[in-house]
A = this chain, B = another copy of it.
Amino acid sequence: MNESLVASADEGLIRLRATLAYDGKDFRGWGSQPDQRTVQDTVEQAIAQVLRLPKVTVQCAGRTDAGVHARGQVIHFDIPAPMPHEPADLAYKFNSILPEDVAFQEIQETTSDFDARFAATSRSYIYLIYQGAPNPLLRFHAHRCWQPLDIDLMHEASQLLLGLHDFASFCRKRDGSTTIRTLHQFDWSRTKDGLIRADVTADAFCHSMVRGLVGAVLAVGEGKRTKDWLVDYLEGRERSTGLFIAPALGLTLDKVDYPEPAKYAHRITQTLRMRDLDGPY
């Protein structure tokens, strides 16, 4: 059974749910790694330091890769009761010792059956692209694409990937993990500022799946591939070394959705039944 689910049974603990924003540029991704600067380690250390705890473990909704940003990453963690400060004061205290590239946006007390990872019903990412001359003001948040792009065609192609599929051909494979996911939304549009934007939502994503999807659709938009190729590639369920993985810096975890609190436990059971334990981020 998952550690965080075990911890939730302890009545001396309070479970907190929080939203984080971070600039992924100088992090080696979310997940804790020895001798690397990661979001998880940075946040866990700040919480432990403020609350004078020996160790805190934070569970996130979306394990972002190195370089990927977040505006609405959701986490949960447990602290000893009683609540030491008002949630807003706690956020302020954490932010005052965190480095400038990661910050709590909000903290709230939640019930012990909330789980940032397993209770989530969907994750939404945004991918930004721009064209033309190199733009120093966008260089850390949008991918520059040289080739002319047919945005309408990219949007049409993306719709062919919606629904429940085995997305193995877009993911970095992990042994024992399923790559079956439900893609809810994959829309392309132009922003008012002239950027090209993809909105990608699924129940959960496998490793590097958003960037693989974006890379494949870019190949269609550039005219190198067709819509038929995209469908065949999905159905082939084999990742090709030729697949373009769109760069991490263009990607931002925008938000995570959850059911109403009364349905947390049901959603967790559903998630664990549908997928292996390592899968659903």
Contacts and interface: CB of A to CB of B under 8 A. Distances in A.
A1 B105 CA distance: 55
Contacts of A135: 21, 71, 103, 105
A69 B23 contact: no
A23 B133 contact: no
A143 interface: no
Interface in A108-163: 132-137, 139, 141
A40 B265 CA distance: 60
A186 interface: no
A8 interface: no
A264 interface: no
Interface in A4-54: 21-23
Contacts of A134: 95, 100, 103
Contacts of A23: 136-137, 139
Contacts of A71: 135, 137
B101 A136 contact: yes
Contact of A133 (B22, B106, B139): B106
A91 interface: yes
Nearest to A99: B136
Contacts of A224: none
A102 B71 CA distance: 26
A123 B133 CA distance: 22
Nearest to A71: B137
A134 to B, nearest CB: 4
A20 to B, nearest CB: 9
Contact of A21 (B101, B136, B141): B136
Contacts of A103: 133-136
Given A21-B137, A22-B137, A103-B135, 15 more contacts: A21-B133, A21-B135, A22-B136, A23-B137, A23-B139, A69-B137, A71-B135, A95-B134, A100-B139, A101-B139, A102-B136, A104-B133, A105-B135, A137-B141, A137-B252
28 contacts: A21-B133, A21-B136, A21-B137, A22-B136, A22-B137, A23-B136, A23-B139, A69-B137, A71-B135, A71-B137, A91-B133, A95-B133, A95-B134, A100-B134, A100-B136, A100-B139, A101-B136, A101-B139, A102-B136, A103-B133, A103-B134, A103-B135, A103-B136, A104-B133, A105-B132, A105-B133, A106-B133, A192-B192
